Amino acid sequence: MITVASPEAMFALGYSVAQHLRVGDLVLLNGPLGAGKTLLAQGIGSGLGIDDITSPTFVISRAHKGVIPMIHVDAYRLLDTNNPSLYLDDLDLDTENSVTVIEWGGDESARLNDDRLTITIDRSDEIRKVSITCIGKRWDGFAL
């Protein structure tokens, strides 16, 4: 469990995660509204050489060019649909040639890659608590 006391620290955590990412990686970000998912994604983007990360809530996904390209998805609007997996497939994400970061990434997103990082933010008080779950051989031995 990592404690994050400020927006700057959340951004820095994302930047640190980015230092371990490579093309094809999947990162799922979960937590309630206002937890800091987009700020974490901005830190990841910065670590990949991308400075213009904004929330893709209304467009669902954005592709960014950087040292390593990044696809940033906000799956929030897909969660209330009858089949979020189908809508995610319709986005035609180029996950093999980018790092893919999905906010509100649940089971429908997890199936995109057997190896992934799932980052969960708990904002039950002022100090955020962040847990990182490493799934698959790609992340054996991962530590920040």
- Would you kindly state where each structural domain of the chain is located, as residue ranges? 2-139
Contact of 70 with 48, CB cutoff 8 Å: yes
CA distances from 48 to 3, 18, 68, 124 (A): 23, 6, 6, 30
Architecture (CATH level 2) of domain 2-139: 3-Layer(aba) Sandwich (3.40)
Q: Find how far residue 45's CA is from the centre of its chain.
A: 10
User: How does pLDDT run across 87-135, given as a tens digit for each residue?
Assistant: 555 666 767 889 999 998 877 778 788 999 999 999 998 899 999 999 9
For the entire predicted model, the pTM comes to 0.89
